A and B are shown apart, each in its own frame.
Chain A
Amino acid sequence: MAVLQIIATGVLQGLIYALIGLGLYLIFNVMRVVNFAHGYFVLIGMYGVLSLKPSSLADFAVALLFVAAVAAAFGYLVERFLIESTLDKSGHAQLVITLSIGVALQYLFQVLYPEPYQTIRNPWPIDAINTLGVTISFARLAAGTVSLVLALALSWLIYRTRLGVYMRACAESLNGAMFVGVNVRRVYRSTFALGAAAAAVAGGLLIPFQPVSPLYGLELTVKAFIVVVIGGSGALWGTVTAGVLLGVAEAASSVYVSGSLASSVIYGAFLLIILFRPQGLARKRVART
């Protein structure tokens, strides 16, 4: 029974990590920018929904759309005014700029919401589901399901739309994309906005059952990186699988290992995976030149 419970909780949590990871995956693969502020984009969603205080399901849906729009606008502005001019410089500049954006957001939230670990009342009609001896809060179940749907929608966008083709072109070969006339700047801005929006929606889905604190941002950034690195750069399914694996590993280690050591186990495992399989789960078939 305990095993079933772990798997159920872990998979649902993992699907949310997958959605967060997909946002980072897009930014990382298309623009080759290491976005250390990504976890804080999730916090924008969490605090955004928190301050809107949705009381019904309809309110909650509107709040989610709202935070997605806010985060997309924020991401667009960050890319347009801070990242774009540093793209031709070495990687240090983007790394430190996104890190600093994360630090600024963290302490901004600290000032705006001094009370730690706030959450919202469950907006979903049902509280919890109880089958086969497994108890799952409905908010978690719904969040996992919506994340999966959104991940599929993102996949459709990347593989079936014009913007997706442009994005994949930039990821495959920046020069090639430029030669055939792709407006690279616009693609980059859209990518960054999309990645930020995905993170914020995931944050909004998390808030009904995950109390938020400003420190959570760094943890989420690291987890998103774990998902992207383990998933590899080959295909979206790698990222989704990695998210689910991380969720299950986390749920299992929180049961079998005590407190802070649980996260040490996760990060230690991550270190090993980087060492032994740096290319991740899904390998790229075509070598990048």
Chain B
Amino acid sequence: MRSLRALVSTPLNRANTLVVAVALVVAVTFPQFAAEPTIGVGFVALLYAMRNLTWNIAGGFTGLLSIAHASAFGIGAFSVAVLTWQHGINIWLAIGVGILLSAAIGAAVSLIMSRFGVNALFFTLGTLALAVAISGIAATWSVTGGVNGLQNLTTQEGILHLQWFTDAAPLYYVALAVLVLLTAGVSWMTRRTRFGRSLPFIREDPVLAASMGVAVIRNQAIAMGVSMGLTAIPGALIAQYTNFVSYDSVLSVEVGVAMLVGAIIGGSATLAGPIVAGIGIAVLEELLRMFAVSSSNVSSYTQIAYAICVIAILRFGGSGIVPLWNRLIVRLFGTGRPHDPESEKSSGRSAPDRAPAPEVVSEHA
């Protein structure tokens, strides 16, 4: 009951509860009134939101700006392509394999980097190099189809095979369900578990966190593992949607960059930021596709407009869309706590920012 009352306790919480409720209703009813190709756009928007959200576990909460998530996305797609399309293994099993493989790579990368005391910049560069290296391997290895990629030639449909060839709506609902589950899970993890609460602490000051008894290296490795493992899920879903996978389409560095940029413009320290940015980017892409006259340059103009939006948000908007929105609501309607000047500052920020550091202290007691 207390948590329910908290949803409407301040103007900011009331506004955000309303937005989330409306968004959920729209998302659930969307396939009923949208045309068939638009459902596909909705599906892509959910995928963008999902992969930004999973990237954010490592990148936003823990501060590990990783490009290697492109590999996790690609591994998710390729494990479906190789195991299910080529060898007829059940898709749910294949997704599981993809998740475990990506998680193992993520944890290993983090552990190796920590072992050698790599700093934040080299972490980004090292994961960038890893992503390029893995993409190069996929481009030459015959199992992953080399430069030609792999095509889905299976014919079975239904939830057991996670495939509907003529209808985009079921896959859309699967993506929506996964996104809601992931959001709830990440929210629970960052607020209710010691591990989740230690992540912002590690991001802000790893040395202080370690001296307070937080297992910095272990928690970073777990965060990278969870984050990369879950990033395999949107990869598997996009493979089932496009029915074609190549090193170029799912393993390219641009996928990793898109996750990083998406999460950061949304507000990388927040739960909702990456989701908002992912959906916003998909909508922006679609709008530009509608307005652009010649079709050959559409994606180029999209990317240019996208880059300019990103630069504008970062140059003038501070730390992302969601923090900006929260500040706007607080300015318009007040904090709801007029006698406490201290809350003026803190409620302008988002929930994970306020994760109380003192409770983390007991981590290793």
Contact = CB atoms under 8 A, between A and B. Distances in A.
Contact of B257 (A85, A91, A99, A278): A99
Most chain A Cβ neighbours within 10 Å, of B117, B307, B310: B307
Interface in A218-257: 218, 222, 225-226, 229
Given A99-B257, A278-B117, 7 more contacts: A96-B314, A100-B261, A101-B311, A107-B300, A225-B128, A274-B126, A274-B129
B120 A91 contact: yes
A271 B133 contact: yes
Interface string A272-287: 0011101000000000
Contact of A263 (B117, B122, B128, B136): B136
A92 interface: yes
A258 B140 contact: yes
Contact of B129 (A106, A259, A271, A276): A271
28 contacts: A82-B311, A85-B315, A86-B315, A91-B121, A92-B264, A95-B65, A96-B260, A96-B264, A96-B314, A97-B311, A99-B260, A100-B308, A100-B310, A100-B314, A107-B299, A110-B297, A111-B297, A111-B301, A260-B136, A260-B139, A263-B132, A264-B140, A267-B132, A270-B129, A271-B130, A274-B118, A274-B122, A275-B116
Contact of A99 (B125, B134, B261): B261
A225 B125 contact: yes
Contacts of B297: 110-111, 114
Nearest to B140: A261
B125 A229 contact: yes
Contacts of A99: 257, 260-261
A65 interface: no
B281 interface: no
Contacts, number: 124
B282 interface: no
A181 B133 CA distance: 46
A52 interface: no
B209 interface: no
Contacts of A85: 315
B124 A95 contact: yes
Nearest to A32: B121
- Classify the interface of chain A: helix, strand, loop or mixed: helix
Most chain B Cβ neighbours within 10 Å, of A103, A226, A274: A103
B137 A261 contact: yes
B38 interface: no
Interface in A103-129: 103-104, 106-108, 110-111, 114
B120 A276 contact: no
Interface of B: 65, 112-113, 116-122, 124-126, 128-130, 132-137, 139-140, 147, 253, 257, 260-261, 264-265, 268, 296-297, 299-301, 303-304, 306-308, 310-311, 314-315
A264 B311 contact: no
A93 interface: yes
A264 B133 contact: yes
Nearest to B117: A278
A222 B128 CA distance: 8
Nearest to A226: B129
A276 B112 CA distance: 11
B249 to A, nearest CB: 14
Given A34-B121, A99-B257, A276-B116, A107 B304 contact: yes
Contacts of A176: none
Contacts of A211: none
Given A82-B311, A91-B120, A275 B112 contact: yes
B120 to A, nearest CB: 7
Contact of B130 (A92, A104, A107, A267): A267
Nearest to A218: B253
B139 A259 contact: yes
B41 to A, nearest CB: 21
Nearest to A277: B116
A261 B297 CA distance: 31
A261 B130 contact: no
Most chain B Cβ neighbours within 10 Å, of A108, A258, A267: A267
Contacts of B147: 260
A25 B339 CA distance: 52
Contacts of B296: 114
A92 B136 CA distance: 27
B125 A264 contact: no
Nearest 7 pairs of A and B residues by beta carbon: A264-B136, A104-B307, A260-B139, A100-B307, A107-B300, A267-B129, A107-B303
Contacts of A259: 139-140
A119 B64 CA distance: 40
Contact of B116 (A106, A111, A278): A278
A107 B132 CA distance: 20
A104 B264 contact: no
Given A99-B257, A111-B297, A218-B253, A82 B265 contact: no
Contacts of B253: 218
A275 B113 contact: yes
Contacts of B121: 34, 91
Contact of B122 (A81, A262, A278): A278
Nearest to A271: B129
B303 A104 contact: yes
Contact of A103 (B117, B130, B139, B306): B306
Contact of A229 (B122, B133, B304): B122
A108 B306 CA distance: 12
A96 B260 CA distance: 8
Interface string A59-102: 00000000000000000000001100110000111011101110
A261 B136 contact: yes
